[in-house]
Amino acid sequence: MDNKDIILKAEKWLSEAYDKETRDEVALLIKEGGTKLVDSFYKNLDFGTGGIRGIMGVGTNRMNKYTVGMATQGLANYLLKTYPEEEIKVAVSFDSRNNSPYFSQIVAEVLSANGIKVYLFESLRPTPELSFAVRYLQCNAGIMITASHNPKEYNGYKVYWNDGGQLVPPHDNNTIDEVKKIDTPEKVKFDKNPDLIHIIGNDIDTVYWDLSKAFSLNLENNKAHSNLPIVFTPIHGTGIMGVPQMLKLFGFSDVSIVEAQSSPDGNFPTVISPNPEEEEALSLAIEKAQKTGAELVLATDPDSDRVGIACKNDNNEFVLLNGNQTASILFYYILNQWKEKGKFKGNEFVVKTIVTSELLVEIAKKYNVEYFDVLTGFKYIAEIITNNEGKKRFVVGGEESYGYLVGDLVRDKDAVISCCMIAEAAAWAKSKGKTLYDILIDIYLEFGLYKEDLLSITKTGKAGADEIKSMMEDYRTSAPSTINGEKVVEIRDYKLSEINYVLENRKEKINLPKSDVIQFFTDGGSVVTVRPSGTEPKIKFYFGVKGELKNRESFHEAMSVCNKKIEGIKTSMKLE
């Protein structure tokens, strides 16, 4: 779209269909011109397979009253078509981001104007509680206003179906089709029906917490170690509305909150980014833990579906565990305890995503538990749980991006119960005279030293989107034959749904939905995965290598070898 077309598109926002404040802002953008105008209007804000997410502001490519209203109208139309003879119910919640309460109100008003009953949370709540509420209240869908761990300029919303999981085929594409038909705010019903908007809150909290407590495997041991000192930070998000309360129910009484980050605040004033994957976001919590003598640090993102942790190493220093490491500990602890307590019946299963450590597969194999690999996105884990409901028992699932789920009460990653189960694993380790760090090394000694890394390259605006598309095409048409001196022996292209066994000149079908993802496997056991982010203007590179750990004393040396191997891969692919 050239500048002339962009200006014509922007001028449509000067009509009486938009409020005066919006018209004034758009007029100023047109007057000033430049990249801000282009980025605000060069495309429509995409309603993807999980919902919408974008920078807040005026324009077709921004989160605002009109793009939120249009997306919600499209969803309402699909719901009305899908359930023509039923009373339709939708649960709506929101996080601590700027404009989240406002956007949730817009959503509720549009849904009610379409004759849909809305259960609107009275105040911010964690994403997993919204997922729970969808099923508990027997809703047809759910909407969570959040941009997860994105920077403060962003907001968005995730859409859930009646199983409590995010949209999967065919509902995702069918909803997208309906949203595309809403090409003007004049097609949106903004006149709310207050009789159809019902406020919910503490009644749902209590049930969610009580039912989650049932997934504990060692309540008595938790109580025996109730004084395990824990520091928790919600990083200005919704975690304050669930994690401290649940930790108490699980038996942990010595929980300190990082006061400077305890109040919900969409400006996230104490961090550069509210992302528990990043060390800086946990710095205040670690500082508090060092001062108070705590043994475990827990941090959740703004909508509480991801959790980052820090624990003490063998030098009594706090170290951050990455998502693969935390998932490995959770899988190991939970499956170990299921076996010890005789809970296995032979129909249990676990799930991970294709970019998550293969170590989880090895742990599952040890305990003879079926495992599933799914595409990136927790909605695919939820889909497996739903498809096997009543036939098989879901135990635990995880993805490398710090998202985990224990039990099937929720159908999305749940940082609330994950915090509790991580603390429980720490108490279990303590009962054996060990730390979580010790347990991690025990796992490496038994299964091998798995090391993963992630490189995200940000490419903003239209130019960035075009560059990411070009990079993916280059990897498809000019795949590397070697990576860091190792031969590429297998290429998995999830967009083409095929595995190419390079040396055998043989191809095989992939039985997963199509996705813009490419994986390269080498004869040295390395794995490189490339994919554009579905929610951020980034292209992501996942690296996985495996090394040998002969004894506990050689851990750091062995890890250094793996790190050098990963750096060699990045250099060979010209990524650094």
Q: The CATH number of the domain where 540 resides is what?
A: 3.30.310
Q: Are 141 and 75 in contact (CB under 8 A)?
A: yes
**Residue 209 located in a structural domain:** no
Residue numbers of the domain that contains 79: 43-200
CA distances from 517 to 142, 375, 480 (A): 28, 9, 15
Select from 200, 226, 261 the last residue of a domain.
200
Helix (H) / strand (E) containing 449: strand 449-458
Q: Is 382 left (phi over 0), alpha (psi -120 to 50) or beta?
A: alpha
Q: Are 66 and 179 in contact (CB under 8 A)?
A: no
**Residue 373 pLDDT greater than 80, yes or no:** yes
Whether this prediction's pTM lies above 0.85 is answered by yes
**Residue 8 located in a structural domain:** no
For residues 453 and 426, state if they share a domain. no
Q: pLDDT class for 533, splitting at 50, 70, 90? A: confident
Helix (H) / strand (E) containing 51: strand 51-55
Tokens representing 219 are: 């309540």
Q: What CATH number did the domain enclosing 72 receive?
A: 3.40.120.10
What are the residues whose beta carbons fall under 8 Å from the beta carbon of 319, sequence distance 6 or more? 310, 311, 312, 313, 437
Beta strand segments in 459-517, E: 482-483, 486-493, 498-501, 506-509
**Residue 1 pLDDT greater than 80, yes or no:** no
Look at residue 224 in the predicted model and tell me its pLDDT.
Answer: 98
Pairing of strands 498-501, 486-493: antiparallel
Q: pLDDT class for 2, splitting at 50, 70, 90? A: confident
Look at residue 549 in the predicted model and tell me its pLDDT.
Answer: 94
For residues 338 and 405, state if they share a domain. yes
- Residue % of the chain over a pLDDT of 70: 99
**Residue 31 located in a structural domain:** no
**Residue 19 located in a structural domain:** no
Tokens representing 327 are: 């998932």
pLDDT digits (tens, 9 = 90+) for 171-196: 999 999 999 999 999 999 999 999 99
Look at residue 171 in the predicted model and tell me its pLDDT.
Answer: 94
Look at residue 130 in the predicted model and tell me its pLDDT.
Answer: 98
**Residue 149 pLDDT greater than 90, yes or no:** no
Mean of the per-residue pLDDT values of the chain? 95
Q: How far apart are the first and last CA of the chain?
A: 33
The answer to whether residue 123 is catalytic is: no
Cis, peptide link before residue 170, omega less than 30° from 0: yes
For residues 218 and 196, state if they share a domain. no
Select from 399, 433, 467 the last residue of a domain.
433
Look at residue 285 in the predicted model and tell me its pLDDT.
Answer: 98
Burial 135-167 (b: 16+ CB within 10 A, else e): bbbebbbbbbbbbbbbebebbbbbbbbbbbbbb
pLDDT digits (tens, 9 = 90+) for 469-524: 999 999 999 999 999 999 999 999 999 999 999 999 999 999 888 999 999 999 98
Select from 433, 463, 487 the last residue of a domain.
433
Complete edge-to-edge strand list for the sheet that includes strand 197-200 = 51-55, 154-161, 141-145, 89-94, 117-121, 197-200
* CA–CA separation, 323 and 36 (whole Å): 35
Look at residue 49 in the predicted model and tell me its pLDDT.
Answer: 75
pLDDT digits (tens, 9 = 90+) for 380-438: 999 999 999 999 999 999 999 999 999 999 999 999 999 999 999 999 999 999 999 99
Name residue, tokens 């930070």.
233
For residues 511 and 427, state if they share a domain. no
Closest by CA position to 325, among listed 389, 391, 398, 270: 398
Look at residue 48 in the predicted model and tell me its pLDDT.
Answer: 81
Catalytic residue among 100, 112, 131, 148: 148
Number of separate domains in the chain: 3
Closest by CA position to 233, among listed 309, 342, 328: 309
Look at residue 537 in the predicted model and tell me its pLDDT.
Answer: 82
**Residue 24 located in a structural domain:** no
Look at residue 463 in the predicted model and tell me its pLDDT.
Answer: 85
pLDDT digits (tens, 9 = 90+) for 200-227: 999 999 999 999 999 999 999 999 999 9
**Residue 4 located in a structural domain:** no
Look at residue 382 in the predicted model and tell me its pLDDT.
Answer: 96
**Residue 106 located in a structural domain:** yes
For residues 319 and 467, state if they share a domain. no
The DSSP line for 98-166 is TTHHHHHHHHHHHHHHTT-EEEEESS---HHHHHHHHHHTT-SEEEEE--TTS-TTEEEEEEEETTSSB
Q: Range with the lowest mean pLDDT among 283-297, 312-326, 458-472, 497-511?
A: 458-472
Q: pLDDT class for 535, splitting at 50, 70, 90? A: low
Provide Rg for the chain, Cα atoms.
24
* CA–CA separation, 491 and 528 (whole Å): 10
* CA–CA separation, 486 and 573 (whole Å): 12
Closest by CA position to 144, among listed 108, 188, 192: 108
**Residue 576 pLDDT greater than 90, yes or no:** no
**Residue 310 pLDDT greater than 90, yes or no:** yes
